[in-house]
């Protein structure tokens, strides 16, 4: 038996639990290089439920600790999976690197561009792996879409639309997702989409955006209600959150973006819209276009080429004969050449998290060189998300580089202040 990597989950809320389910999924597939040795959270209740469930799913109860210091005293650790609220990502990551541990951090990598830079610098200083747990690009349908794009099936990309609308005044999962110094929805969700844009089109260069805080009061329909069976993992915490609260972070962004390739993106991310909801992601190229489904839905993408029937089935695979999913994704999703899949959301979710863990493990073991979404790529997504808001404040187009390098940071200033950065 090769030695496994002792890992602790730090942050045992919703995503900490979901990550543990992902680790169990990877173990069931016989592909886990990790042993879960620790569950770390100052909220002992959260750490204990994670540890109890891990005992059932992984066959060993991790130690419970309230801090990294207590964790280090209690057990040997080589890597942490960082699933705290975003406000603590940089402090926990830097402490972990100083302790000689590798880090896989949930997105957004850090709460500001400055916080991200600290994490990237510390990882490099200590020679440790910093991976960003970005799940959307790992969806097999996005892998197929990217293979089709790279094969030139729709020609050179000219325009990408990413338009998502909905939400009205409802709380998105938790209060902190609406607070500027907690994360804010355009950061929390926007980093996923920023990563997807760069996954498909390469580096983003310039952003012009208008952002708004439309809904200044958000409502939590689950306040005071007992969690229902099958109601989702977050209900147990939502019942104790307020029924109504003030939102401080912008909740809608409308942007035109220029990519280094010359491709243009029309971007709308509106978490406050009422009326018709919208999902539209499509890439228009010099030969045709590709319509992409919602991430983690398992639905098919569709290729439109002039004079031909729209294609969304097995014939897509004929266009990319070399296309193969990586070993972990293929094992978890049941095939290395997929054009759709059908699992309950919770199962898809844990499979994609399992893929993140597999990638992190290979990077630690030195087999892949670096994780697919490293610290720099994670920091780029944060910079793009803030570029929307910085463009609004500056009243002009901003470059992603000036935000990434922390030269333009007026929107982030009060967040940096609150973090003491
Ligand atoms: N990739 C995805 O699809 C996805 C989905 C949901 C959340 N997330 C990300 O996961 C992270 C956590 O989100 P969540 O929904 O689980 O939040 P949550 O509020 O449910 O849980 C956060 C947990 O972190 C703990 N915590 C806070 N400070 C800590 C510290 N210093 N050390 C240890 N634990 C600490 C809290 O006590 C809480 O248990 C966020 O970065 C979020 O953006 C990603």
Residue whose CA lies nearest to ligand 1 atom number 40: 85
Q: What is this structure's pTM?
A: 0.98
Identify which has the larger pLDDT, 226 or 339: 339
Q: What's the whole-number average pLDDT of the chain?
A: 97
The response to whether residue 155 sits with its C-beta less than 6 Å from ligand 1 reads no
Residue 364 token pair: 């630690």
CA of 224 to the centre of ligand 1 (A): 22
Distance, CA of 40 to CA of 80 (rounded, Å):
10
- Reported as a single tens digit per residue, the pLDDT across 15-34 is 999 999 999 999 999 999 99
pLDDT at residue 358 above 70? Answer: yes
Pocket residue to mutate for ligand 1, from 81, 84, 360, most atoms within 8 A of Cβ: 84
Alpha carbon 272 to its chain centroid, in Å, reads: 21
pLDDT at 231: 73
Distance, CA of 185 to CA of 380 (rounded, Å):
17
CA distances in angstroms from 86 to 36, 91, 92, 112, 272, listed in the order given: 22, 10, 10, 9, 22
Distance, CA of 122 to CA of 95 (rounded, Å):
9
SS (H, E, C) 280-341: EEEEEECCCEEEECCCCCCCCCEEECCCCCCECCCHHHHCCCCCCCCHHHHHHHCCCCCCCC
Mean pLDDT of all residues in 75-102: 98
Q: Are the C-beta atoms of residues 116 and 375 closer than 8 Å to each other?
A: yes
Give the orientation angle of helix 140-150 with respect to helix 190-201, to 10 degrees: 30
CA of 182 to the centre of ligand 1 (A): 11
pLDDT at 2: 59
The response to whether residue 293 sits with its C-beta less than 6 Å from ligand 1 reads no
Distance, CA of 170 to CA of 274 (rounded, Å):
11
- Indicate the pLDDT class of residue 369, thresholds 50, 70 and 90: confident
- Reported as a single tens digit per residue, the pLDDT across 30-59 is 999 999 999 999 999 999 999 999 999 999
CA of 19 to the centre of ligand 1 (A): 11
Domains of the chain in start order, with CATH, are: 5-136 (3.40.50.720), 140-339 (3.30.360.10)
CA of 172 to the centre of ligand 1 (A): 14
pLDDT at residue 392 above 50? Answer: yes
- Indicate the pLDDT class of residue 1, thresholds 50, 70 and 90: very low
Residue 371 token pair: 């994780």
- Indicate the pLDDT class of residue 113, thresholds 50, 70 and 90: very high
- Reported as a single tens digit per residue, the pLDDT across 60-73 is 999 999 999 999 99
């Amino acid at each position: 038996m090769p030695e496994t990597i002792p890992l602790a989950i730090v942050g045992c809320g919703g995503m900490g639990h979901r990550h543990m389910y992902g680790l169990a999924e990877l173990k069931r597939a016989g592909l886990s290089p990790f042993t879960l040795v620790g569950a770390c959270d100052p909220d002992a209740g959260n750490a204990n439920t994670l540890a109890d469930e891990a005992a059932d799913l992984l066959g060993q109860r991790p130690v419970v600790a309230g801090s990294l210091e207590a964790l280090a005293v209690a057990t040997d650790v080589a890597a942490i999976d960082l699933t705290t609220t975003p406000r603590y990502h940089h402090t926990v990551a830097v402490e972990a690197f100083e302790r000689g541990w590798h880090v896989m951090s949930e997105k957004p990598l850090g709460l500001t561009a400055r916080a991200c830079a600290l994490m990237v610098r510390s990882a490099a200083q200590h020679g440790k792996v910093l991976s960003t747990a970005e799940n959307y690009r790992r969806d097999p349908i996005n892998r197929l879409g990217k293979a089709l794009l790279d094969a030139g099936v729709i020609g050179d990309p000219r325009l990408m639309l990413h338009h998502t609308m909905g939400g009205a005044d409802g709380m998105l999962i938790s209060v902190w997702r609406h607070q500027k110094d907690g994360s804010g929805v355009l950061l929390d969700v926007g980093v996923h989409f920023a990563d997807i844009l760069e996954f498909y089109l390469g580096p983003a260069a310039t952003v012009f955006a208008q952002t708004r805080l439309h809904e200044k009061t958000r409502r939590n329909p689950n306040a005071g209600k007992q969690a229902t069976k099958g109601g989702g993992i977050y209900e147990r915490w939502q019942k104790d959150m307020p029924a109504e609260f003030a939102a401080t972070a912008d909740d809608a962004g409308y942007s035109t973006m220029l990519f280094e390739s010359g491709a243009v993106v029309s971007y709308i991310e509106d978490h406050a819209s009422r009326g018709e909801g919208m999902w539209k992601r499509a890439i228009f190229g010099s030969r045709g276009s590709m319509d992409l489904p919602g991430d983690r839905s398992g639905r098919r993408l569709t290729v439109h080429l002039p004079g031909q029937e729209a294609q969304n089935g097995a014939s897509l695979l004929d266009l990319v004969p070399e296309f193969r999913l990586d070993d972990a994704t293929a094992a978890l999703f049941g095939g290395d050449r997929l054009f759709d899949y059908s699992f309950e959301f919770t199962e898809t979710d844990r499979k994609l998290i399992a893929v993140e863990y597999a990638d992190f493990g290979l990077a630690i073991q030195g087999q892949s060189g670096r994780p697919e979404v490293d610290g720099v790529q994670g920091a780029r997504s944060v910079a793009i998300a803030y570029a929307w808001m910085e463009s609004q404040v500056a009243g002009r187009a901003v470059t992603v580089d000036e935000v990434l390098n922390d030269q333009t940071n007026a929107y982030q200033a009060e967040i940096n202040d609150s973090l003491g950065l």
